[in-house]
Structure 1
Amino acid sequence: MKLTVIAKIAAFASPLLVAGLVVAQTTGGIHSLRGAAVDQELEPPEVYPQQLGREVRNYRQQPPTIPHSMTQYQIDLRTNQCLSCHDWTNAGDRGAPTLSMTHYLDRNGNQLDTVAGTRWFCTQCHVPQADAPALVGNDFEASSISR
């Protein structure tokens, strides 16, 4: 009894599925996320130069921006080239700013000798400075306390 009901449902649903697929393919072409035809070649966006000097922070806990290019820096699970200059063991010799001590605390607040895993990927908070136009309008005003 149950097998005949399942067979009837399958016999009814199969043509509907095929018809739906046909309609879906004939309603339009493939649309890409970049807003152009798939085979259309687009000009690459302009590459903006790095800003010189350090950017002023706008609020107290704002992560500083990175004032140099990072195009050749490797940051993955095993390697973090930022630490070759900014780790507390190297910063003095390299003349680079030392990481904040908060980067050496684990989730429980225990002091570590190496950078905590939660702070390993620098670019999750820090971004390279670039002299680029704003993508959207912004009327943000910096905190007077942070300056």
Structure 2
Amino acid sequence: MKKQTRNLAIALVAALSFGIFGGQTAFAEGLQSLRGAAVDAPEPPAPGARIRPDGPPMARDYVQQPPLIPHKVEGYEITRNFNKCMDCHSWSRYQEFNATKVSLTHFKDRDGGELSNISPRRYFCMQCHIPQTDAKPLVENTFKRAEGLR
């Protein structure tokens, strides 16, 4: 490592540890969510929000809306190596559990080519699919369902 680069790195570490930037370090302040809760603390549920009991899926409000999850998912593991959702929703097991099978769209790469397994872009289900709740809207909403879905 060049002497100048090394000295710059040492100066930066020293500045951060002594709080030269803004009087405090970012590490000392801790992180907060947009709603003010500490990031490492679980966010409290919205007032009156609770997961609906297992049941039929709610109707969709617009074309291409990802379906909502009609059951509890607390404790479901979805990691790089394992996806709990596929225990019931895979093409080989969905009939066994009377579950919805994963859409064909989840087996395409970004160029539209077909894959033999779920696309990495679609592997983490809860990026798009969320559990159904009976929560009241946090802000006023004037959204109208798509006419074709009525």
- Fold conserved between structures, TM > 0.5: yes
Shift of 1:32: 8.2
Residues 53-101 of structure 1, C-alpha deviation per residue, up to 9 Å, x if partnerless?
Answer: 3110011100000000100210011110001111111111111001110
Which of 79, 86, 99 is residue 102 of structure 2 equivalent to? 99
Which residue of structure 2 lines up, in the alignment, with residue 143 of structure 1? 146
Q: 1:114 to 1:133 in 2, by over 3 A?
A: same
Shift of 1:112: 1.6
Normalised by the length of structure 2, the TM-score is 0.67
Shift of 1:113: 2.0
**Alpha-carbon distance in 2 for matches of 1:32, 1:118:** 28
**Alpha-carbon distance in 1 for matches of 2:138, 2:30:** 24
Q: 1:64 to 1:35 in 2, by over 3 A?
A: closer
Q: Does structure 1 residue 58 correspond to structure 2 residue 55? A: no
**Alpha-carbon distance in 2 for matches of 1:109, 1:32:** 39
Name the count of aligned residue pairs. Answer: 118
Q: 1:75 to 1:35 in 2, by over 3 A?
A: closer
After TM superposition, what 4+ stretches of structure 1 lie above 6 angstroms from structure 2?
Answer: none
Q: Secondary structure at the match of 2:105?
A: helix
Which residue type is aligned with residue 48 of structure 1? R
Which residue type is aligned with residue 125 of structure 1? C
Larger Rg, first or second structure (1 or 2): 1
Structure 2 portions without partners, runs of 5+? 1-18, 39-43
**Alpha-carbon distance in 2 for matches of 1:121, 1:84:** 14
Which residue of structure 1 lines up, in the alignment, with residue 87 of structure 2? 84
**Alpha-carbon distance in 2 for matches of 1:109, 1:98:** 20
- 2:51–2:72 Cα contact (<8 Å) kept: no
Which of 113, 116, 119 is residue 113 of structure 1 equivalent to? 116
Q: Secondary structure at the match of 1:145?
A: helix
Structure 1 portions without partners, runs of 5+? 1-17, 39-43
Q: How do residues 8-87 of structure 1 correspond to structure 2 at under 5 angstroms?
A: 33=32, 45=45, 48-51=50-53, 52-87=55-90
Which residue type is aligned with residue 78 of structure 1? N
